[in-house]
């Protein structure tokens, strides 16, 4: 089958007419075979109305050849032919097909379970609400159901967890999300104000503000033919790696807290504060809001800031190494983390896990090495860290390792960095090319983030689709706790640390 082939270093958007329009049967047969191979995975698959048709776009990633493959197919608006479901063969596609079904009432034949994905505002079936969520049930004398949420203790976002337990052992966990749905995607198309759109991108998921804004900026820059300078690309990657360090350190602390290990918790909390304060000293916001702007920047790195970042990162990486050694050699912690919440590699691939959780299961999914952009294209190439056990300990080790890698990356990028005199200011007025498709593909700290923007014939964004890595990985969490004690759910959950609002959009 013919795809439009591009890659993550391209600086141009793709004209929609250049994307080959195929028959669904062709695509189905092609994907059926391709997705059996580990090198392919689907980054995005969505439908959008196009005059009186429904146009489906698919963004397929080839990790081995570093290619991004695009294709589309159409369906007449009043067709009610059931398309055969790909989810039945490759469960990795379940969130995409469920979303299409929810939004457009397109039913895929033999779809195992097309329950609603996030109860989007624009859903077709208004009777399907979050209050009548079709929870899975099992009958049995000795079984009991434990419902946790949707309102949780502390500052956790809303989401309902329904456990079916046999005593203390979890047989099944079902995660019901959608409580955080804000209609982010439609907000993007409801305004032409680029600054507003940028601020929206910053608030898709608060803990990945830099990653999402980078993906948005990349999509806009491709659409407006504004290739950014190397120094700006470098700054964005430094910011992204700072975000990764901060979140990985915070999660190490949170894991320590959940098992009642106070020393690890307080040490990591202090280090995380130091990391986000570094970002704050750079751009005025601890989470990097205001730092990434399309086509330019308001917060260029100065010589003093470079020195400040370098010395802070050096100190953080040294102190974090001590904490992580301590955690990895403490018997009481090892007995909690090892062999707990296992997701084997084949399961991870089947459900389409991405990011650090996938790498902890031995599945190499890392946009930095498979589809490098910006400074990841220069030597030394990013060498992704993978573990094999897929348990909580592996996910913790991946975090420990990646913090050091990020520190190393920031160091190597900034040591040879010369602050350029003239920095472009952000451009909120630039015209976008009409009838084009553009994407932003970034490896955030949680995993791959894929934004896709479509413009109409007047050059305005007509469709904006966002994919957060949590969309795939929530299912991994549900699999991880199967057969575990219910009291180990919190550490399994924390080891993934998935986003509710990123999933619900």
Partner 1 sequence: MGIALNTLLMLIVAISITGVINRCRAILAGRKGLPFFQHIYNVRLLMRKGAVYSTTTTALFRIAPAVYLGSAIVAILFIPIADLNPLISFEGDVICFAYLLALGRFALILAAMDTGSSFEGMGASREALYGALIEPAIMVGFATLAMFCGYTSFADIFAHEQSFNLHLTIVMLLTAYLFIKIAFVESGRVPVDDPRTHLELTMIHEVMCLDYCGIDMAMIQIAGWLKTASLSMLAANAIAATGCFHWWFATPLAILLTGLSVGVVESTQARNKLVRNTTFIVTISALAALIFFIGYLLQLNINI
Smallest separation, CB 492 to partner 1 (Å): 11
- 52 DSSP assignment: T
Q: With CB under 8 A, what is the number of residues at the site for partner 1?
A: 28
Pick 3 or 489: Cβ nearer partner 1: 489
Nearer to partner 1 (CB atom), residue 132 or residue 262:
262
- Binder of partner 1 out of 88, 89, 266, 430 (CB under 8 A): 266
Does position 487 interact with partner 1 (CB under 8 A)? The reply is: yes
Closer Cβ to partner 1, 118 or 336, answer by number:
336
What DSSP assignment string belongs to 256-311? Answer: HHHTT-HHHHHHHHHHHHHHHHHHHHHHS-TT-TTT-BTTB-SS---HHHHHHHHH
Q: Determine, following the binding rule CB under 8 A, whether residue 193 of this chain makes contact with partner 1.
A: no
Q: DSSP code of 7?
A: -
Q: Candidates 286-294, 295-303, 304-312, 330-338 — which segment interacts with partner 1 by CB under 8 A?
A: 330-338
Q: Which is nearer to partner 1, 201 or 333 (CB)?
A: 333
Give the pair of three-digit tokens for residue 16.
Answer: 């929609």
User: What's the count of helices (H) and strands (E) in the chain, helices before strands?
Assistant: 16, 13
If one asks whether residue 250 binds partner 1 (CB under 8 A), the answer comes out as no
* Cβ distance to partner 1 smaller for residue 283 or 333: 333
CB closer to partner 1 out of 472 and 494: 494
Q: Site mask, partner 1, residues 138-177, x = CB under 8 A?
A: ------xxxxx----xx-------------x---------
Which one of residues 489, 496, 498, 505 is an interface residue with partner 1 (CB under 8 A)?
Answer: 489
* The one segment of 3-11, 59-67, 253-261, 406-414 that binds partner 1 by CB under 8 A: 253-261
Nearer to partner 1, 259 or 432 (CB): 259
What is the DSSP-derived secondary structure letter of residue 28? H
260, 418, 421, 429: which one binds partner 1 (CB under 8 A): 260
Which residue from 52, 332, 418, 422 is in contact with partner 1, where contact means CB under 8 A?
332
Stretch that binds partner 1, among 89-97, 256-264, 290-298, 391-399 (CB under 8 A): 256-264
Using CB under 8 A, pick the residue from 333, 407, 452, 466 that binds partner 1: 333
Q: Which is nearer to partner 1, 175 or 454 (CB)?
A: 175
Q: Using an 8 Å Cβ cutoff, are 156 and 493 in contact? A: no
CB 269 within 8 A of CB 254: no
Q: How far is the CB of 328 from partner 1 (least distance, A)?
A: 13
Rounded least distance, CB 257 to partner 1, Å = 8
Q: Does position 282 bind partner 1 by CB under 8 A?
A: no
Applying CB under 8 A, does 322 fall inside the site for partner 1? no
Of 208-216, 220-228, 257-265, 376-384: span binding partner 1 (CB under 8 A): 257-265
Among 261, 376, 496, 500, binds partner 1 (CB under 8 A): 261
- 227 vs 270, which CB is nearer to partner 1? 270
Two tokens, residue 9: 């270093």
- Choose among 354, 378, 352: nearest CA to 366: 354
Pick the closer one to partner 1 by CB: 138 or 263.
263
Find, among 247, 387, 269, 255, the residue nearest to 334 by Cα.
255
- Give yes or no for a contact between 481 and 489, defined as CB atoms under 8 angstroms apart: yes
β-bridge pairing 83-84 and 108-109: parallel
Rounded CA separation 137/324 (Å): 41
Binding segment for partner 1 (CB under 8 A), chosen from 47-55, 254-262, 371-379, 423-431, is 254-262
Cα gap 420→308, rounded to integer Å: 17
| Four-point Cα dihedral 289, 294, 299, 301, nearest 10 | 120
Position 500 contacts partner 1 (CB under 8 A): no
What's the angle, vertex CA 255, arms to CA 208 and CA 288, rounded to 5?
A: 20
Q: What angle do CA 461, 464, 467 make, to 5 degrees?
A: 160
Q: Describe the crossing of helices 230-258 and 262-283 by its angle, rounded to 10 degrees.
A: 160
Q: Could you tell me if 164 and 170 are in contact, meaning their C-beta atoms sit under 8 angstroms apart?
A: yes
| Min CB(259)–partner 1 separation in Å | 4
Beta-carbon-side half-sphere exposure of residue 52 (alpha carbons within 13 Å): 3
Helix axes 470-480, 489-496, angle to 10 degrees: 160
Member of 31, 240, 259, 441 binding partner 1 (CB under 8 A): 259
With CB under 8 A as the contact rule, the residue among 10, 330, 419, 435 that binds partner 1 is 330
178-201 exposure pattern, b = at least 16 Cβ within 10 A, e = fewer? bbbbeebbeebbeeeebeebbebb
The H-or-E segment that residue 170 falls in is strand 169-176
Between 310 and 486, name the residue whose CB sits nearer to partner 1. 486
CB closer to partner 1 out of 277 and 335: 335
Q: Shortest distance, CB of residue 482 to partner 1, whole angstroms?
A: 15
CA-based nearest residue to 443, from 402, 496, 414, 484: 402
145 vs 230, which CB is nearer to partner 1?
145
Residues near partner 1 (CB under 8 A)? 144-148, 153-154, 168, 256, 258-263, 266, 330, 332-333, 335-336, 340, 485-490
């Amino acid at each position: 089958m013919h795809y439009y082939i591009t890659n993550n270093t391209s600086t141009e958007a793709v004209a929609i007419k250049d994307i080959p329009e195929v028959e669904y049967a062709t695509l189905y047969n092609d994907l059926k075979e391709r997705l059996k191979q580990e090198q392919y995975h689907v980054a995005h698959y969505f439908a959008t109305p196009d005059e009186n048709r429904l146009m489906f776009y698919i963004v397929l990633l080839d990790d081995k050849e570093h290619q991004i493959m695009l294709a589309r197919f159409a369906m007449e608006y009043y067709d009610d032919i059931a398309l055969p479901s790909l989810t039945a063969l490759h469960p990795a596609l379940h969130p995409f097909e469920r979303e299409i079904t929810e939004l457009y009432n397109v039913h895929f034949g033999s779809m195992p379970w097309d329950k609603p994905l996030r109860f989007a505002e624009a859903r077709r079936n208004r009777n399907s609400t979050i209050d009548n969520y079709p929870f899975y049930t099992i009958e049995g004398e000795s079984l009991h159901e434990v419902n946790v949420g949707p309102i949780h203790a502390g500052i956790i976002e809303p989401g309902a967890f329904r456990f079916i337990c046999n005593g203390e052992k979890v047989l099944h966990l079902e995660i019901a999300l959608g409580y955080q749905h804000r209609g982010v995607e439609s907000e993007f198309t409801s305004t032409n104000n680029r600054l507003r759109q940028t601020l929206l991108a910053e608030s898709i998921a608060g803990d990945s503000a830099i990653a999402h804004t980078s993906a948005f900026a990349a999509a806009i820059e491709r659409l407006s033919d504004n290739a950014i300078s190397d120094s700006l690309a470098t700054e964005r990657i430094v910011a992204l790696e700072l975000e990764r360090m901060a979140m990985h350190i915070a999660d190490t602390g949170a894991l320590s807290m959940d098992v009642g290990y106070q020393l690890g918790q307080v040490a990591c909390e202090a280090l995380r504060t130091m990391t986000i304060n570094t970002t704050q000293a750079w751009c005025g916001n601890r989470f990097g809001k205001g730092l990434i702007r399309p086509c330019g920047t308001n917060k260029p790195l100065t010589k003093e800031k470079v020195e400040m970042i370098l010395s802070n990162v050096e100190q953080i990486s040294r102190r974090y190494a001590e904490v992580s050694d301590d955690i990895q050699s403490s018997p009481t912690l090892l007995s909690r983390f090892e062999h707990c919440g296992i997701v084997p590699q084949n399961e991870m691939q089947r459900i389409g896990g991405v990011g650090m959780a996938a790498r902890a299961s031995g599945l190499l999914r890392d946009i930095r090495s498979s589809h490098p952009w910006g400074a990841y294209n220069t030597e030394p190439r990013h060498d992704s860290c993978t573990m094999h056990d897929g348990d909580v300990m592996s996910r913790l080790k991946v975090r420990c390792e990646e913090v050091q890698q990020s520190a190393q990356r920031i160091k190597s990028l900034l040591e040879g960095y010369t602050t350029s005199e003239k920095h472009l200011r952000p451009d909120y007025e630039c015209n976008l090319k009409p009838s084009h498709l553009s994407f932003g593909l970034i490896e955030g700290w949680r995993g791959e983030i894929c934004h896709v923007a479509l413009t109409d014939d007047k050059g305005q964004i007509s469709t904006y689709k966002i994919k957060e890595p949590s969309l795939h990985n929530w299912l991994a969490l549900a699999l991880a706790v199967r057969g575990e004690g219910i009291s180990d759910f919190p550490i399994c959950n924390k080891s993934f640390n998935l986003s509710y609002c990123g999933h619900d959009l």
